[in-house]
Amino acid sequence: MTKKILLAFCVALLTFGLVQYAFSFSTGIAGFSGMNGGNSCNNCHHSGVTPEVSIRGPQVVLPGGTQIYNLVISGGQETAGGLNVAVTEGSLLSLSDETKLINGEIAHTAPKTINQEGDVVFSYAWTAPVITGTVTMYGAGNSVNGNGSNSGDAAGLTTLSIVVMELNEKLYLPMIQRD
Ligand code: HEC
């Protein structure tokens, strides 16, 4: 009996894993933000020019507060891009149909074309945990050439440290730094 349940569980897990694997390529993929042992889009994507990737947004926030962040992909193929963002704590939120959540991580829904500056910018939000501390946001930005395959592309990784602190601590900090 226990064996049967275990078998059913394994089959379910495998099916779920395979389905996710089959549909998660150009339409978004999680687990490759750099948070999991440095695994990135470059596990599969290759032969492209590596872009500059950065995450921009508030680095000191209140517990439980929600803030907007941008992942910026500059240089690289200067055609289009995709992303994967993960955090050690708090919750990520999708803000438009350009992104979605997979296992609590942000992923693109389709390759996004560069803007007038030649960059690919994805916006999303993050709600801080209710406890104070330092959170790391991991981001992978894949600069792709739009050929519908994993060649001629390259990803860059970045991290952003965010300090979650109470308002009184926040006001006090500049005073400490001035000494
Ligand atoms: C397990 C292998 C694998 C990983 C890891 C992977 N991809 Fe892909 N990706 C593919 C394959 C294969 C294709 C082409 C087929 C398709 O579109 O499904 C692709 C296509 C794409 C495309 C369209 C490329 C183009 O030039 O048209 C984008 C955008 C993309 N992936 C983004 C990402 C991002 C962002 C990551 C990392 C967070 C990532 N991929 C990680 C296998 C992978």
Q: How many domains does the chain have?
A: 1
Query: If you take atom 22 of ligand 1, which residue's CA is the nearest one?
Result: 26
Tell whether ligand 1 has an atom less than 6 A from the beta carbon of residue 57.
Answer: no
Ligand 1 contacts CB of residue 142 (under 6 A): yes
Range of the domain at 164: 2-178
- pLDDT tens figures, 139-155: 999 999 999 999 999 99
Predicted structure pTM score:
0.85
pLDDT tens digits along 112-170: 999 999 999 999 999 999 999 999 999 999 999 999 999 999 999 999 999 999 987 66
CA of 65 to the centre of ligand 1 (A): 32
Give the integer Cα–Cα distance in Å for 154 and 43: 10
pLDDT at 15 (0 to 100) = 47
The answer to whether the CB of 70 falls within 8 A of the CB of 121 is: yes
The residue contributing the CA closest to ligand 1 atom 41 is 41
